[in-house]
Amino acid sequence: MQSQKFSTKEYNQLPNQPGVYKFYNQENTIIYVGKAKSLSKRVASYFNKSSDHNRKTVKLVREIDSIEIVIVNSEFDALLLENSLIKENQPKYNILLKDDKSFPSICVTNERFPRIFSTRRIIQSQGTYFGPYTSVKAMNGVLDLIRKLYTIRTCSLNLSERNITSGKFKVCLEYHIGNCLGPCEGLQSEDDYQKDIESAKDILKGNISVVRQNYKELMNDAASNLKFESAQLYKDKLDLLEKFQSKSLIVNPKLNNIDVFGVLKDQDSYFVNFMKVEHGSIRISETIEAKPKLNEPENEFLQVLLFELRTQFASETNEILTNKEIEAWGSVEIIHPKIGDKRKLLDLSIKNSSFFRTEKIKRKNESTSPKEKVLAILQSDLGLKELPKLIECFDNSNIQGTNPVSSMVCFKNGKPSKKDYRKFNVKTVVGPDDFASMREVVFRRYRHLKEESLPYPNLIIIDGGKGQLSSACQSLKELDLYGAIPIVGIAKRLEEIYFPEDEFPVHISKKSPSLKLIQHLRDEAHRFAITFHRQKRSKASIQSELDTIKGIGPSTKQQLLSHLKSIKRIADASQEELASIIGPSKAQVIYEHFQQKKEGSTT
């Protein structure tokens, strides 16, 4: 193998050969590892097809500072190398192969009078391992069966010949209750103990038929020799075996050492069931959800996933049943059965994948909040492509064209986000023209979002009928945003929903939670606009009255309003009261102004 490093500008110089590529950031840290049949085509896809990338891929490409490649002889070699590199370096953008989750296994130790126990640590020099088991319950069931059938010691004593001969150990409670025959005191021979271990290994291998036949022979021999108590003991153990085997899913006994890989695709996820079949029984069944790596073809993704599952469960079988096109490697044979027992086994695997998918969707729906459910209904009612998590609603307010204002309220995830509310003073419209006002404020709002590269809402709601909606659409067209943001109008009288360029409105059921949400948005926008309009009118009224009095500046007005709060109380105040606030000379001017106004109104 040969390794070579390139800059991001030199990606088109990579060879058209199989290998592994590593992406480095500016800190010279590996951030992603991948394999490819053709390094040149695979790496170029990251830089040439940017419009097709999701956000994660775009972020990855931005961080790439250099590229290192390793050329190998075959794609299978690339798969092996990629696996080891991901395990070793744990790149942050690799997900599939860096999981260090371990399943429990059963260990049969190499010592004299071997022990049998469960463990998650694999130390090959310690003994022989069986598994791993995807279900702890199933593993404990096997251990429980072995302990009922055989008298295997559970202690960790060093039962060397010297220690036993010297009488170093004494039998424990396990001996007295019949779970152990006392090899620690030499009460059980090593050969007799080893026979139980070999039978236990047959059970762990899934070869129960051998153990069952052995017990039948022992039972018949004991009965022939009139040893009925021993015969009954063997019969009880035989019943235990039959009962245990009936709990296991049994397939055709002729099916031996086969892996099954049942795959279902759902949008951007794959639901995969992996089965390991040995001696006619399904020893392992594991179902997972997985997503392809960045822009990876399905065939390559499934090949990596299958390889990883086989590695995880220590499978070395040469025959794999699957319903997907996956390229074989080495001596492995990929089979797509159409009929017979193998097809039934594959159908069972696909059924497990389907059940896992259904349960996941069910759990997801159960965990959905009431607000999210309402948004989903609104999405369905309005035919939106995305869930309307961000909604903005506009309304106008004026009295005969005076002090025209507009408001925009924002709902995030179905709830008001008051920090995102906006007020608009209408600047370009003279007179009572709701259409022009709506056109102005919508243009100003989305011009700002466009210039600042801020996120657009998932839905715009206009309080008004076809006229206001058309005006808002005109602004979006001027900004080249028309069609990019869904927009509707709601007419007050009949609560009709209007879509752009659609003559006929949509009527949503009055009991629908989605209509209630739209009404909540409309009412909140109306309230916010009215409040702003009243504040503006009040401010304008106060300012115009005080501004007509010569010699009264902003600081004097501020003092008066701070003490008396309103223009009416200023007008009704005595000259002495005014003088205590702003001094006698200014107080006389203001007092005489309001007195003249009162006298003029009575004549």
CATH assignment of the domain containing 8:
3.40.1440.10
Based on the fold, state whether residues 392 and 528 are members of the same structural domain: yes
pLDDT, tens digit (0-9, with 9 covering 90-100), for 519-536: 999 999 989 888 887 777
Asked if the structure places residue 184 within a domain, the reply is no
Domain that holds residue 217: 207-248
Model confidence at 243, pLDDT cuts 50, 70, 90, reads low
Tell me the H-state helices in 455-565.
466-478, 513-547, 554-564
Residue 134's pLDDT is 59
Based on the fold, state whether residues 429 and 524 are members of the same structural domain: yes
Based on the fold, state whether residues 573 and 501 are members of the same structural domain: no
Based on the fold, state whether residues 386 and 525 are members of the same structural domain: yes
The predicted model gives 12-25 an average pLDDT of 84
Based on the fold, state whether residues 401 and 525 are members of the same structural domain: yes
Alpha-carbon radius of gyration of the chain: 40
Asked if the structure places residue 107 within a domain, the reply is no
Model confidence at 253, pLDDT cuts 50, 70, 90, reads low
Based on the fold, state whether residues 527 and 392 are members of the same structural domain: yes
* Angle in degrees, CA 156, 159, 164, rounded to 5: 135
Residue 449's pLDDT is 92
Residue 100's pLDDT is 47
Whole-Å CA distances, 59 to 86, 294, 303, 477: 19, 11, 26, 31
Model confidence at 101, pLDDT cuts 50, 70, 90, reads low
Name which of 63-67, 218-222, 438-442 the model is least confident about. Answer: 218-222
89, 118, 148 — which closes off a domain? Answer: 89
Paired with 410 in beta bridges are 392
pLDDT, tens digit (0-9, with 9 covering 90-100), for 314-347: 788 889 999 998 888 778 889 999 988 788 888 8
Extract the tokens encoding 77: 């070699």
Asked if the structure places residue 555 within a domain, the reply is yes
Asked if the structure places residue 148 within a domain, the reply is no
Taking a C-beta distance cutoff of 8 angstroms, is the pair 587, 570 a contact? no
Based on the fold, state whether residues 433 and 580 are members of the same structural domain: no
Based on the fold, state whether residues 568 and 428 are members of the same structural domain: no
The predicted model gives 362-374 an average pLDDT of 73
Based on the fold, state whether residues 354 and 467 are members of the same structural domain: no
Which domain CATH number covers 411?
Answer: 3.30.420.340
Tokens 């790496």 sit at which residue?
43
Taking a C-beta distance cutoff of 8 angstroms, is the pair 241, 212 a contact? yes
Asked if the structure places residue 106 within a domain, the reply is no
The predicted model gives 279-289 an average pLDDT of 74
Taking a C-beta distance cutoff of 8 angstroms, is the pair 353, 273 a contact? yes
Model confidence at 97, pLDDT cuts 50, 70, 90, reads very low
| Averaged pLDDT score across all residues of the chain | 82
Question: What is the number of domains present in the chain?
Answer: 5
Paired with 470 in beta bridges are none
Residue 372's pLDDT is 82
Residue 244's pLDDT is 59
CA dist 508 and 89 (Å) reads 55
Residue 470's pLDDT is 92
364, 385, 418 — which closes off a domain? Answer: 364
pLDDT, tens digit (0-9, with 9 covering 90-100), for 123-136: 878 888 876 665 67
Whole-Å CA distances, 110 to 127, 130, 313: 5, 14, 22
151: nearest Cα among 99, 193, 121, 117: 193
Mean pLDDT highest for which of 354-368, 417-431, 435-449, 493-507? 435-449
Residue 412's pLDDT is 92
Asked if the structure places residue 122 within a domain, the reply is no
C-alpha atoms less than 13 angstroms from C-alpha of 599 in its C-beta half-sphere:
6
Model confidence at 246, pLDDT cuts 50, 70, 90, reads very low
Taking a C-beta distance cutoff of 8 angstroms, is the pair 582, 556 a contact? yes
Which domain CATH number covers 272?
Answer: 3.30.420
Extract the tokens encoding 128: 């022989």
Based on the fold, state whether residues 441 and 321 are members of the same structural domain: no
Asked if the structure places residue 476 within a domain, the reply is yes
Asked if the structure places residue 574 within a domain, the reply is yes
The predicted model gives 92-104 an average pLDDT of 60
pTM above 0.85?
no
Percent of the chain at pLDDT exceeding 90 = 17
The predicted model gives 243-259 an average pLDDT of 61
Residue 113: partners with Cβ closer than 8 Å, 6 or more residues away: 153, 159, 183, 190, 193
Based on the fold, state whether residues 388 and 532 are members of the same structural domain: yes
CA dist 432 and 454 (Å) reads 32
Based on the fold, state whether residues 561 and 508 are members of the same structural domain: no
314, 334, 364 — which closes off a domain? Answer: 364
